[in-house]
Structure 1
Amino acid sequence: MSTEHKQPLSVATLAAIGVVYGDIGTSPLYTLRECFSGNYGFDVRPDQVFGFLSLIFWLLILIVSLKYLIYVMRADHAGEGGIMTLMSLAGRNTPARTATLIMVLGLIGSGFFYGDVVITPAISVISAIEGLVIVAPSYSGYIVPASIAVITLLFMIQKHGTSRVGKFFAPVMLAWFLTLALLGVRSIMIYPAVLQAINPAWALHFFVEYKKLSFFALGAVVLAITGVEALYADMGHFGKRPIQLAWFVVVLPSLVLNYFGQGALLLQDPSSIINPFFLLAPGWALIPLLILSALATIIASQAVISGVFSLTRQAVRLGYLPPMRIIHTSAEESGQIYVPTINWMLYVAVVLVIAFAKHSSNLAAAYGIAVTGTMLLTSLLVTWVAVNTWRWNRVLVGLILAALLVIDVPMFASNALKLFSGGWLPLLLGLVMFTVMTTWNTERFSLARKLHSHGNSLEAMIASLEKNPPVRVQGTAVFMSHITNVIPFALLHNLKHNKMLHERVILLTVRTEHAPYVHNVRRVVIEQLSPTFWRVVARYGWLEAPNMLEIFHRCGLEGLPCQIMETSFFMSHEALILTKRSWLRFLRGKLFITLSRNALRVADEYEIPPNRVIELGTQVEI
């Protein structure tokens, strides 16, 4: 089964422009200005302008066009993309040690992406609002409050869903890219010699001439391709073809024209480096451009936010994050979702970053490590997929990997030098998310093993209950368990305390497959264990939401009719008690207990009516 994108190609392409390319589309606001900010020791001289423009142009071609849109986006799983998808694909049919390494790399990349999501809205919105200083310098004190107001609006509208947001933003973003192109063409026509920077010889000359400084400068140039990971993560929202079409027809030409237009302006007037983007526009157009920029930066943030919603859902279903409420906002596109918990946690983090940074240049130093780190890990994982899944020639894949690493490694190393000047922020955020994901996964596995370590045999227990039955009452009882072939904890406690059993007992396990979707014919497997006991295994992909009504419907089709309002669902609720541990394991245990207390309850996760749920509590030492 695959994700079906029912929209016409033209509509989906326009919507992709409105959501997917917001981040990379607003990079002209600050990229070239940051290159000459003084942090890297460059002056606005012709050879340096040509060098930076050539580097930006070829990064757009090599990284975005060739690496991601043509190579990496081949690694889709039923139409879905993102670092978690890549981790799942790379982990197929691999030895245990290799699978563990792939999991760690995937989770590190996911952590980097979460760090990137916090920085992107902050730097994009502040950069746009800073245009106020060009219009009215006396308004500089309003930059931070205005930025926070824009961010608040952005996060408030997330609940309406990617589809509605995309339909609203698409025309605005199309106008933005057309404006970028027009501003660039206007400047290039005045100084057409700037187009010679397309020649890669200027980039090579830049490295040969400035050597050490050129290496440091990569930390600024990378700002031109921020958001590239988001377009891969957002693939499930719109499909591969619309995203590729939007890039090559609209986004890439507009970006190139604007960057070269800024370069032409700098070659004519080096003093315009204070804000080359806004100074491209004639005086009468500054206020409309400021308004359009503010709207465009809202869209820039939308690209990474919708991407992190997709990543979160994948992590929850794969068991790396605790269950949380995930709201589907479209009846047509399964990839369009809203995650309230993540939305408001991001909002608080972004507001704090804006309040403390105060200026986009302060955030530019923090940008880059998370982006280039994720790019490097993506190169390694997609190489493994190419060899292990696609069965490409190893020599060919080795050459492709070498070419990717020649770009990725220097860019990551250059940005790593920003560690103490702000780069620690996305790394810290990434480390927090990596710790949360690994803690939830390992501690949850340990808890499940402890709960089922009583040593009783399920087959023997069922045989004993059939031979010497306790008091049987009418109706159906469902006992849920994460593992098949073991006695559900709730069943043991029901027999121990209530000393009764329903006339029909279903042992239900909901299993997440290593695939985004499971076909309906494989959804439910039923096995009768005895005259009154049945085992039901419901299979879902990690992009699907389990639903008890659907499971019961499938059971009825397979010959086990069930009515949800005539069934009692027995759940075990564990009160976790932390035993003596080393200090590190103690902290992980505390984190796991906190996550467990705030996780979505099983009944809510599977949409079981509350009046049909019976919870049996017990204390468990971990």
Structure 2
Amino acid sequence: MSSDISATPTVAHPLRAALVVGALGVVFGDLGTSPIYTVQTVFDPHDPHPIAPTVDNVYGVVSLIFWSVMIIVTVTYVLLAMRADNDGEGGILALMTLLKRWITEINPRVFGILAGLGVLGAALFLGDSIITPAISVLSAVEGLKVVDPALHSWVVPLTAAIVFVLFLAQKFGSGRVGRFFGPVMVLWFAVISILGIRGITTEPGILRALSPMYAFTFVTGHFHIAFFALAAVVLAVTGAEALYADMGHFGRQPISVAWLFIVAPALTLCYLGQGALVVHDPSNLSAPFFLLSPDWAQIPLVVLTTMATVIAAQAVISGAFSVAAQAAQLGYMPRLRLVHTSDRQYGQVYVPWLNWFLMVSVITLVFAFRSSDALAYAYGMAVTGTIAITTVLFFVVARHRWHAPWWALVPSALILLTVDLLFFGANITKFVHGAWLPMVMALAAFIVMTTWRRGRLFVGARRSTLEGPLPDFLVSLRSRQGIETVDGTAVFLNRDPKSAPLAFRSNVEHNRVRHRHVLIVAVQVATVPRIDDADRFVKRDLGDDNPGIDGLTIRFGYAESPDIPATLARYRDLPAGVDLDGATYFLSTVEMRLSDEPGLPTWRKRVFLASSHVASDASDHFSLPREQLVVLGARIPV
């Protein structure tokens, strides 16, 4: 288990190049397509707080967009947050699990607050992952209206069809999707760079907007205007949180290289080009991105833009899979069925249940809002909340991981948090105009995640009472009369190495038999993505008074598939006589039912029981062979 700043493996140059292209195809879709709607949304005349497209305002807005991207994406995420990886995994939950390593150094109440922030940030990201595919694809397909206004009626059904196909493709894995989408995004960034340069030639003076003085003057001199503009400027940084969450898919180095040398320059040119076009003729605000192209290229641009926004949706979908997988392994969501889609990148996962849930939710939003302008008001709240929480958690991690001095951390944190909170405050002004939507989604996800965590601890305590201490059970087993010993090997899976497996207890009490060779296997999930085989197995001494009964703890990283039979086959110190080929696997299970017993509020009990229905089958989760499996357990009132 490495504690280095980056755990991304060293690879050959061709693989790095392939990962850079793959990262372009998965990670940067959202950030890369923001120019389609950001400038247009800032100056939208239908906005509740409209901003006049004067020359000073345009220069100020373009400068504000550029420096917002530099501060939030380049500084907060690429230069800072991505260095705080959890053995290659990124995202808010990765930061939270890093904090667990220093739980003894952090005040328990403070840690509880930080853990709550981490779960809230993950919930906000999941809410954002529903809105992003809808607004991204809608904004691209709306380019048809620039080509021919008569095509307006086709926008919504065509968007829904594209979203449907995108989610169908998820089962192939983000790596394969990235290899297909990567070359498209290379073309996309080349095209928007050329379009940006074309726009700049109409008003070369727009290059002065790269100076931070224009952004500073705009904010300080016209704060009443600039503050409301931030609610739309934030659209330029949407996707930064997906960039961090997707780090486990491709690694820190390929993502950083792609951003610094391809994505950031292309976005800068495109925003400058749109600003120049608006300064040259304010009527271009109707669709500044599409109007950068000559008439003959508009149809090909709409096609390319649609493909790019499908890729933008892919970025947050991949991130949502990563967040859900981490949350499930850390005990904040039910055990979900995961499909690891790459042998080379452990972070590439596909979550079937979440995939179909997101698909239905996204298509519902498309038909409910019907335009990207309507969805834009709802877009910023979740993003800015996630960014602010990431900033807070990163600086706490920096303090405990690298022992950075307070005098250096506090000023830096205050500067970045001020920027984040200004964006969040500006988006609150859009609350009644649609910003409530991601907050409601995030609140629902937060309630489910915290309820599952509390319910799991509650049921775990009840289950421990039923199981009883393992040493006491083994003592009683030796003194029982009429217990037959049958030939063969029994492998009992156990969640807690200190307690007696329910299945073992039930087999003895009801069937009155035990196997000649018994292996009690406890499974533990670590707060790191992967465990080396040298550290994976911990033999437990159950005493000489229990011949034929042995204990073993198997440790898995939270990004690994806990394949018990395959893992046991790699264990070199199996007790004598244990036959894995003919072994019977015993799985302990509990049936939960609603009761009036104290512990959790009734509404939380109902949420917990409802959430349990999406949990994957334990035998599938542990890859237990069905023909060698016996399931025994008990009923627990909740």
With structure 1 as the length reference, what TM-score do the two structures score? 0.97
Cα distance change of structure 1 residues 420 and 36 upon mapping to structure 2, 3 Å threshold: same
Alignment partners' CA distance in 1, 2:121 and 2:346: 24
Alignment partners' CA distance in 1, 2:201 and 2:454: 60
1:514-533 paired onto structure 2 within 5 Å: 514-529=527-542, 530-533=546-549
Alignment partners' CA distance in 1, 2:388 and 2:167: 30
- Counterpart in the other structure of 1:60: 69
Cα distance change of structure 1 residues 548 and 282 upon mapping to structure 2, 3 Å threshold: same
1:430-579 paired onto structure 2 within 5 Å: 430-454=442-466, 456-468=468-480, 470-529=483-542, 530-559=546-575, 562-579=578-595
Alignment partners' CA distance in 1, 2:37 and 2:588: 54
1:22-33 paired onto structure 2 within 5 Å: 22-33=29-40
Cα distance change of structure 1 residues 112 and 455 upon mapping to structure 2, 3 Å threshold: closer
SS in 2 for 1:434: helix
Q: Any idea what the Cα deviations from partners look like across 1:551-581, whole Å, max 9, x if unmatched?
A: 3113344555744441222223322221226
- Counterpart in the other structure of 2:91: 82
Cα distance change of structure 1 residues 238 and 409 upon mapping to structure 2, 3 Å threshold: same
Residues 489 and 580, structure 2, Cα contact 8 Å, conserved in 1: no
Residues paired across the two proteins, number: 622
Cα distance change of structure 1 residues 208 and 159 upon mapping to structure 2, 3 Å threshold: same
Alignment partners' CA distance in 2, 1:502 and 1:559: 14
Could you tell me which runs of 5 or more consecutive residues in structure 1 were left unpaired when the two chains were aligned: none
Which residue of 262, 265, 278 maps to 2:277?
265
- Counterpart in the other structure of 2:332: 320
Alignment partners' CA distance in 2, 1:499 and 1:283: 83
Cα distance change of structure 1 residues 497 and 597 upon mapping to structure 2, 3 Å threshold: farther
Q: CA deviation at 1:98?
A: 2.7
Q: Any idea what the Cα deviations from partners look like across 1:435-459, whole Å, max 9, x if unmatched?
A: 1111111111111111121484422
Determine whether 1:110 maps to 2:144.
no
Residues 383 and 397, structure 1, Cα contact 8 Å, conserved in 2: yes
Which residue of 245, 248, 255 maps to 2:260?
248
Cα distance change of structure 1 residues 493 and 89 upon mapping to structure 2, 3 Å threshold: same
SS in 1 for 2:188: helix
CA RMSD of aligned residues (A): 1.7
Relative to structure 2, which stretch is displaced further, 484-493 or 250-259?
484-493
Q: Any idea what the Cα deviations from partners look like across 1:108-161, whole Å, max 9, x if unmatched?
A: 000000011011111110000010111010110111001001101111111111
Could you tell me which runs of 5 or more consecutive residues in structure 2 were left unpaired when the two chains were aligned: 2-6
Determine whether 1:21 maps to 2:28.
yes
Determine whether 1:10 maps to 2:11.
no
Determine whether 1:417 maps to 2:426.
no
- Counterpart in the other structure of 2:177: 165
Determine whether 1:234 maps to 2:241.
no
Determine whether 1:609 maps to 2:637.
no
Q: CA deviation at 1:468?
A: 4.4
Residues 462 and 533, structure 1, Cα contact 8 Å, conserved in 2: no
Residues 91 and 102, structure 1, Cα contact 8 Å, conserved in 2: no
Alignment partners' CA distance in 2, 1:456 and 1:224: 56
Which residue of 609, 615, 637 maps to 1:593?
609
Aligned-partner residue type, residue 286 of structure 2: I
Aligned-partner residue type, residue 64 of structure 2: L
- Counterpart in the other structure of 2:438: 426
Residues 467 and 499, structure 2, Cα contact 8 Å, conserved in 1: no
Residues 24 and 226, structure 1, Cα contact 8 Å, conserved in 2: yes
Cα distance change of structure 1 residues 455 and 338 upon mapping to structure 2, 3 Å threshold: closer
Relative to structure 2, which stretch is displaced further, 582-591 or 408-417?
582-591
Q: Any idea what the Cα deviations from partners look like across 1:185-215, whole Å, max 9, x if unmatched?
A: 0111121011111121211221233222221
Cα distance change of structure 1 residues 502 and 35 upon mapping to structure 2, 3 Å threshold: same
1:269-288 paired onto structure 2 within 5 Å: 269-288=281-300
Which residue of 394, 397, 401 maps to 2:409?
397
Aligned-partner residue type, residue 39 of structure 2: L
- Counterpart in the other structure of 1:291: 303
Alignment partners' CA distance in 2, 1:560 and 1:390: 46
Q: CA deviation at 1:583?
A: 12
Cα distance change of structure 1 residues 598 and 200 upon mapping to structure 2, 3 Å threshold: closer
Q: Any idea what the Cα deviations from partners look like across 1:340-364, whole Å, max 9, x if unmatched?
A: 1111110000000111000101100
Q: CA deviation at 1:525?
A: 1.2
SS in 2 for 1:516: coil
Cα distance change of structure 1 residues 522 and 422 upon mapping to structure 2, 3 Å threshold: same
1:117-266 paired onto structure 2 within 5 Å: 117-266=129-278
Q: CA deviation at 1:3?
A: 5.1
Cα distance change of structure 1 residues 400 and 572 upon mapping to structure 2, 3 Å threshold: same
Alignment partners' CA distance in 2, 1:583 and 1:88: 27
Relative to structure 2, which stretch is displaced further, 489-498 or 108-117?
489-498
Alignment partners' CA distance in 2, 1:320 and 1:109: 13
Alignment partners' CA distance in 1, 2:69 and 2:557: 34
